Amino acid sequence: MRNTLPVIIAFLAGIAMVISFFFNPERTVLGTFQENLLQWVTIVGGFTLVLGVFSIVRVNARAVSRRSDGWFYKLATVISVFAMAIPSIMPTSANSAFGKVFYSIFPISWAGAFGTGPDSIYDWLFNYVDSPMMETMFATLAFYIASAAYRAFRARSAEETLLLITACLVMLWRVPIGEALLRSIDVRIPDYINMFVMNGFNLSVQRGIIIGAALGMASMSLRILLGIERTYMGKG
C-alpha cells in the first residue's frame, strides 16, 4: 500500500488534468476542478520550497560543524540564506498584529529596511551582491564557451566548414562592429542572415528540438500515469 497509493493518486490526478483540459472551466465541474487542483499544486510547491530551504541549511550546517572540505563556503551559504530571507519576511508597517508586536520592540524607523521594496536590505543584497555574482559567473562562462567553440568549429569536412562559416557570420551579425563590417561589404547581408539563418535554419531546428522534447515529456507523463516511472517516490 505504501507504493500503490502514490501511484493511484498520481494516476487519478493526471487523468483528471488531461480530461479537464478539454472542458470550459466556467461551465463544467471538471474545468473548475482543474483550476482548484492547479492552486493546490502551487500551495504544495510553496511548502516544498520551505522544505528545500530547511534542507539546504541542515546539510550545510552539518558540514560546517564537522569542518569538512569547503566548510567556509557552506557557512557563507547558510549566512546568505538567512540574510536574504529574514529581512524580506519582516513586516514593513505596524498595521498587522505581528507588525505591532515587532515595532513595539524595534524602532519604526527600521520599517524601510525590511520587506522586498526599494532601499530594503533584500533589495540592496540582490542588486549589489547577488546580481554582480551572477554577472561574473555568466561572464566566466563566456570563456569556456569560446574554448568549446574553438575545439568544435574545425573545418575537417564539408558539414563542419558550413557550420564554421555560419557561426562566424552569426557572431559578426550579433556585435555592432561585425554588423558594420558586413554592411560595408553589402548592406543587405545582415538582413539575409536574420531572414535565412536565424528565422530559417535556426528556427526550424529549434522547432524540431521542441517537438522532440514535447514527445519525450508526453512519454514520461504516460510512464508516470501507468506507474512505470516511480522516480518521484525515490525508486527507479
List of residues 6+ apart from 85 with CB closer than 8 A? 53
Dihedral-angle region of residue 67 (phi above 0 means left; psi in -120 to 50 means alpha; beta otherwise): left
pLDDT of res. 25? 65
pLDDT (0 to 100) of residue 31: 64
Which pLDDT belongs to residue 210? 95
Number of residues that make up the chain: 236
Among all chains, which residue has been given the C-alpha cell 493526471? 14
pLDDT of residue 154: 73
Picking from 178, 152, 179, 181, the residue whose alpha carbon sits closest to that of residue 164 is 152
- Report domain extents, the chain: 1-89, 153-230
**pLDDT (tens digit, 0 to 9) for every residue of the chain, 236 residues total?**
677 887 888 888 888 777 777 776 666 666 677 778 888 888 888 888 888 888 999 999 999 998 888 899 999 999 998 998 888 888 888 888 888 888 888 888 888 888 888 888 999 999 999 999 999 998 888 888 778 777 777 777 887 788 788 888 887 888 888 888 888 888 888 888 888 888 888 889 899 999 999 999 989 888 888 888 777 776 55
Cβ neighbours of residue 27 under 8 Å, at least 6 residues apart? none
Other beta carbons within 10 angstroms of residue 80's beta carbon come to 14
pLDDT for the residue 226: 82
| Predicted local confidence at residue 173, as pLDDT | 82
Render 220-231 in DSSP notation, one character per residue: HHHHHHTT---G
pLDDT value of residue 162? 81
Read off the amino acid at residue 155.
A
The pLDDT score that the predictor gives to residue 174 is 82
Sign of CA dihedral 166, 168, 171, 176: negative
